[in-house]
């Protein structure tokens, strides 16, 4: 079974491109347009090996999503890669992110990072 990447971003064009690129690279992908949708998916039993997270979104932004994720023992272990247009340099420590990319991100580099994170997860 192919590893699943959860893409959380409110930009439908970016989500479409990223999910298509991930599929071409051998990953399954699921998307959510904000943190609330993503939490509902994960807490409802949906799985993800890695999360790609934007920080600025309506309803529940990336900061609030990450706080809720870290507080939930069932999903706290899923590594997060922040891909955002805001200052991502501070996000790696403040959010406990595995990696950060400034938008516009190079999809090849993002997928390399996803692949590396999945490789460290024996059941991903």
What's the CATH code of the domain at 94? 3.40.50.2300
Assess if residue 37 is contained within a domain.
yes
Residue pLDDT, tens place only, 9-24: 999 998 999 899 999 9
Assess if residue 76 is contained within a domain.
yes
Assess if residue 22 is contained within a domain.
yes
Assess if residue 20 is contained within a domain.
yes
Residue 52: pLDDT over 80: yes
Assess if residue 10 is contained within a domain.
yes
Residue pLDDT, tens place only, 63-98: 999 999 999 999 999 999 988 877 666 666 778 888
Better-predicted residue by pLDDT, 99 or 49:
49
3-state SS, the chain, equals: CCCEEEEECCCHHHHHHHHHHHHHCCCEEEEECCHHHHHHHHHCCCCCCEEEECCCCCCCCHHHHHHHHHHCCCCCCCCEEEEECCCCCCHHHHCCCCEEEECCCCHHHHHHHHHHHHHCCCCC
pTM, entire model: 0.90
Assess if residue 124 is contained within a domain.
no
Residue pLDDT, tens place only, 90-120: 666 778 888 888 888 888 889 999 999 998 6
Domain tally for the chain? 1
Task: Please give the residue range of the domain that contains residue 83.
Answer: 4-119
pLDDT value, residue 90: 67
């Amino acid at each position: 079974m192919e590893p699943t990447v959860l893409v959380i971003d409110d930009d439908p064009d970016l989500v479409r491109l990223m999910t298509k690129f991930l599929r071409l690279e051998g990953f399954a992908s699921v998307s959510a347009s904000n943190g609330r949708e993503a939490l509902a998916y994960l807490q409802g039993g949906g799985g993800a090996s890695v999360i790609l997270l934007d920080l600025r979104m309506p309803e529940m932004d990336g900061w609030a999503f990450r706080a809720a994720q870290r507080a939930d023992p069932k999903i706290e272990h899923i590594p997060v890669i922040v891909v955002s247009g805001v200052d991502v340099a501070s996000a790696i420590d403040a959010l406990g992110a595995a990696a950060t990319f400034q938008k516009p991100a190079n999809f090849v580099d993002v997928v390399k990072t996803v692949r590396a994170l999945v490789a460290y997860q024996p059941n991903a």
